[in-house]
Every structure is written in C-alpha cells, then in structure tokens.
C-alpha cells in the first residue's frame, strides 16, 4: 500500500512537474480554472491559452470559438492558443486524435457538447454588474420536488434575495428563468451569474427584490429529428413537456414552500435561446398566470405573417394584450442572427408594446444573456408592495 502511494505521488509530480514551457507573458488564469491550476489563461489581447498532458496523442486541437492546432513538447504536454476572443464566457473542448474531451484543468459546465470546459475573457469595469461586490448577498438553494406529471423527482435552483432571511412577513414576486438547449438548471447560476446580477441591481435600487426559479427545461440534448420523424412536429415537441411541469408542479411547489406573491401580477417568465421559445409558448397560452415575459436570443421560428395568428391570435388584439402584459422584452446579440429585431419590429407594427435590446459585439453566448437579464430585471414588478 505504501509503495503504491509513493508511486502515485511520484507519477503525479512527474506529470505536473515536467510542464516546462515558460508561462505566457502578460496572462492571467481564467476564473474558470480549477483550484490552483495554471491554465486556461487569457492575455491582454483576449487570446486564450491552453495546455493538455497527452504524451501518446498524435494530433491535438482546441475548439474554442474556432479550432486551433496545439503543439507537443518533448515532455508530453501540448500547448495552444486562440486568436483574440470576444469578452465573456466561452465553452471549449479538446480534440485528441479526433475525440472530443473536456479539460481536466477547468471546471466543467452544462453546455456545448455536454459537460464542457470554459474560459472567461474578462470585461473591464462594465462587467462589474455580474461580479461579486461588497453588497448584501442572496442565496441560491437546491430544491428537490416530486413532479406529478413526470412521476419522478426533479431539482430546481431558487435564488432568494438577501433580505429574505430577515423580512419574515414580506412576500416576493417570482421570475421563472430558463436555460437553453444542451444546458440544465445550473446554467444561470454558474455561467449566467444570476445571483450576483440580482444582488448588485437590488443593492443599487435598479430592480426590486424577487425570487428567481431556475429549472430543467427538458432540452438538455441537441435537437435532432429521428429518422422518419417530421422535423417541424419534432421541433414543436422538443422540450414541450416543461410547460405542464411548470404549471402543474413547479409553480404550486414554489408558492407553497416560499413566501411568494402568487398572483399573475407578480409572476414573470424569461428564457434564453430554446428557453426563450419555451417562455413564449408557455406565457401566451397561459396569460392568466404571467404578466411579464422576456425573450433572450429566443429560438422562435415564426414567420412574420403568422405572428398575429399564434396561440389563438392573442397578439392580434394589441389593446387587450398591452393591458394584460406589463413588459415584453426582446434581447439579442449584435453578432447573432436569430431574427429578434425583425420579431420586435413586427410586434410594433401590430401595436404590441415591447422593449428591444441589442448587446453590442456579442453572439449567441452567455455575455449576451447576462446583459439581457441586466436590462430586463428593472422592468419587473414596479407595483410590488
């Protein structure tokens, strides 16, 4: 046993100690790196640097906003870097002789091709809204509940504001906030930094204290029709089970377990990408349950001449719609092409009040959605007691 332990320590020291390439100058360790790891790194030009120990590999690449070849050193370590990346959070993985693997030196996140590694290219002071500040901090709780619809246990994450722990008589409005395809209920709390965004905006008085519920949208794998399946029908069915789970199980559980304001005037829903699609397809048919909705890079696939017809024509009567909904937010990144601006303009042509926001310089990525959330939250719950 002792010999095995000594051998294991010796092997570990050999593997970690033989990485002899000098540290890239003017670089910092990404906040996504595991404890006391030295990679991934980022330089002042926003290039990301990676390393991987794979002595028997013949070809190694890193896929991070593009694919980049890595170079092998004599000690078995491979090193590589990207071209300058946009600021923000980026998934990546290694391709080792054609096989995609995560980085053992990075935390892993639910997204991209599964459990993926990530690198954060830091913003300047403009990114302080999603960084921890010296303000009161809320909690993100892991809540397990039984779904009568699925007949199994599920989990959601629930943010409660800092004052929730001391204001025992106060009740709070609720935002139901959904992730996108290939992600799960952890997305907003990890790569989205939802708790810090809420903490900072609440502390500055830019948004009202609220509860935020993040659940699994049942869209955690890439959408792909099965052989012989109608693509449009398959698309409509993908993740569609989330709506009855939300209405039948999640909302009643949250109203039972937390101090909520349980009427539609104090309930909102928003989502990114496929979660934005789920938001629209949940809120519009069930407008008696929600008074606010937010679409962040939503995957809608609605033709412009069909907008007034969806969900029993709820968008055809602008006067009635505008009286029911207090905020309809549509956000996107300037570098993506999800038709958000066209959708917003078409709604305006119909007389539907909506707020359009464009994140400059970002694509279909988490910095877009952090910024969307920052812009959306101040629109919520102005009538709260």
Give the per-residue pLDDT at 242. Answer: 97
| Domains along the chain with CATH numbers | 21-122 (2.60.40.10), 128-379 (3.40.50.1820)
Give the per-residue pLDDT at 370. Answer: 98
CB 372 within 8 A of CB 331: yes
Give the per-residue pLDDT at 177. Answer: 98
Give the per-residue pLDDT at 1. Answer: 47
CB 307 within 8 A of CB 352: no
pLDDT along the chain (385 residues), means of 10: 41 44 87 96 97 97 97 96 96 96 94 86 95 98 98 98 94 97 95 98 98 95 85 88 97 98 97 97 97 97 91 95 97 94 96 97 96 98 71
pTM of the model: 0.91
Distance between CA atoms of 12 and 15, rounded to whole angstroms? 5
Beta-sheet pairing, 60-63 with 174-178: unpaired
Give the per-residue pLDDT at 6. Answer: 40
Distance between CA atoms of 249 and 243, rounded to whole angstroms? 10
Put the strands of the sheet holding 152-160 in their side by side order.
Answer: 139-147, 152-160, 211-215, 174-178, 267-272, 292-296, 327-333, 355-359
């Amino acid at each position: 046993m002792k010999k095995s332990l000594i051998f294991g320590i010796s092997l570990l020291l050999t593997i970690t100690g033989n990485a002899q390439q000098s540290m890239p100058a003017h670089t910092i360790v990404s906040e996504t790196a595991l404890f006391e790891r030295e990679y991934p790194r980022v330089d002042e030009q926003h290039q990301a640097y990676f390393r991987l120990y794979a002595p028997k590999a013949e070809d190694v690449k890193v896929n991070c906003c593009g694919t980049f070849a890595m170079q092998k050193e004599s000690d078995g370590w491979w090193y590589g870097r990207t071209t300058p990346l946009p600021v923000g959070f980026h998934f990546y993985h290694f391709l080792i002789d054609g096989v995609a693997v995560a980085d053992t030196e990075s935390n892993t996140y639910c997204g991209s091709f599964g459990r993926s590694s990530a690198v954060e290219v830091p913003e300047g002071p403009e990114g302080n809204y999603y960084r921890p500040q010296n303000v009161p901090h809320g909690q993100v709780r892991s809540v397990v509940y039984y779904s009568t619809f699925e007949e199994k246990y599920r989990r959601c994450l629930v943010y409660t504001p800092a004052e929730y722990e001391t204001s025992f008589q106060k009740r709070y409005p609720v935002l139901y906030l959904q992730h996108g395809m290939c992600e799960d209920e952890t997305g907003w709390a990890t790569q989205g930094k939802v708790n810090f965004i809420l903490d900072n905006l609440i502390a500055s008085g830019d948004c009202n204290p609220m509860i935020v519920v993040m659940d699994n949208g049942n869209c955690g794998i890439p959408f792909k029709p099965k052989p012989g399946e109608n693509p449009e029908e398959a698309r409509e069915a993908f993740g569609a089970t989330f709506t009855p789970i939300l209405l039948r199980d999640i909302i009643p559980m949250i109203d039972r377990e937390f101090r909520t304001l349980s009427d539609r005037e104090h309930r909102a829903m928003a989502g990114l990408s496929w979660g934005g699609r789920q938001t629209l397809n949940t809120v519009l048919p069930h407008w008696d349950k929600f008074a606010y909705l937010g679409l962040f890079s939503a995957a809608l696939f609605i033709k412009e001449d069909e907008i007034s017809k969806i969900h029993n024509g709820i968008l055809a009567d602008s006067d009635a719609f505008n009286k029911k909904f207090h905020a309809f937010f549509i956000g996107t990144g300037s570098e993506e092409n999800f038709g958000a601006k066209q959708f917003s303009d078409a709604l305006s042509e119909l007389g539907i009040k909506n707020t359009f926001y464009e994140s400059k310089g970002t694509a279909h990525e988490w910095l877009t959605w952090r910024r969307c959330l920052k812009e959306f939250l101040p629109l919520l719950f102005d009538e709260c007691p």
